[in-house]
């Protein structure tokens, strides 16, 4: 199955965000998001997997309201509605909060691992997880992938993403 990339900047009625590669500066916030979602991983998990495939670590970052007078202009490459454009957006440069995280890394040239997936609980249901998922799947492509998920979410991965248990 081929996955197409969504807009780098995504907006809906409530929030604007972009999906980007995670940096080491994001780790503290990511750990907080996981804890709020009852996922208890530590910095060792992130550090171990980042060595393996740093491009597989994806975060969603909120872009602040462009009408806010405290914001600075930030020229950036964005893709909106499948049309490439360069625009100047007002964002809080260097201080936009990370609001979600997803990992899809290669553990072997033909095998990927997916997991460590979470969004700030108060922002669930706004398309943030889906945008990260699509970008992560673009990174992995159509390779075999193992899934690291909490048991209560296995049905979602089966029904929405087509994963199956080989023992079934």
pLDDT at 72 over 50: no
Least confident interval from 36-40, 92-96, 159-163: 92-96
Quote the radius of gyration of the chain (alpha carbons, Å): 16
pLDDT for 50 equals 86
Query: So where are the chain's domains?
Result: 9-60+95-161
Q: Domain 9-60+95-161: what homologous superfamily?
A: Gcn5-related N-acetyltransferase (GNAT) (3.40.630.30)
pLDDT at 45 over 60: yes
- 90: β partners: 73
Dihedral, CA of residue 147, residue 162, residue 121 and residue 77, to nearest 10? 90
pLDDT at 67 over 70: no
The pTM assigned to this predicted structure is: 0.71
pLDDT at 56 over 60: yes
Q: Cα–Cα distances in Å, from 146 out to 34, 99, 113?
A: 20, 24, 5
CA 141 to chain CA mean position, Å: 16
CA 100 to chain CA mean position, Å: 6
Please say whether the beta carbons of 63 and 89 come within 8 A.
yes
pLDDT at 88 over 70: no
Q: What is the mean pLDDT of the chain?
A: 76
Picking from 93, 12, 10, the residue whose alpha carbon sits closest to that of residue 58 is 10
């Amino acid at each position: 199955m081929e996955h197409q990339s969504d807009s780098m900047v995504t907006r809906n009625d409530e929030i604007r965000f972009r999906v980007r590669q995670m940096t080491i500066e994001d780790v503290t916030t990511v750990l907080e998001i996981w804890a709020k979602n009852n996922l208890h991983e530590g910095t060792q998990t992130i550090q171990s997997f980042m060595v393996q495939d740093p491009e597989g670590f994806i975060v969603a970052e909120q872009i602040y309201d462009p009408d806010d007078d405290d914001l600075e202009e930030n020229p950036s490459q964005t893709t909106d509605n499948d049309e490439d454009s360069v625009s100047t957006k007002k964002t809080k440069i260097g201080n936009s909060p990370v609001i979600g995280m997803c990992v899809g890394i290669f553990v072997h040239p033909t095998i990927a691992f997916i997991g460590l997936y979470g969004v700030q609980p108060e922002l669930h249901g706004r398309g943030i997880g889906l945008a990260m998922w699509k970008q992560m799947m673009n990174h992995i492509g159509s390779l075999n992938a193992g899934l690291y998920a909490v048991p209560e979410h296995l049905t979602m991965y089966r029904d929405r993403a087509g994963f199956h248990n080989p023992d079934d």
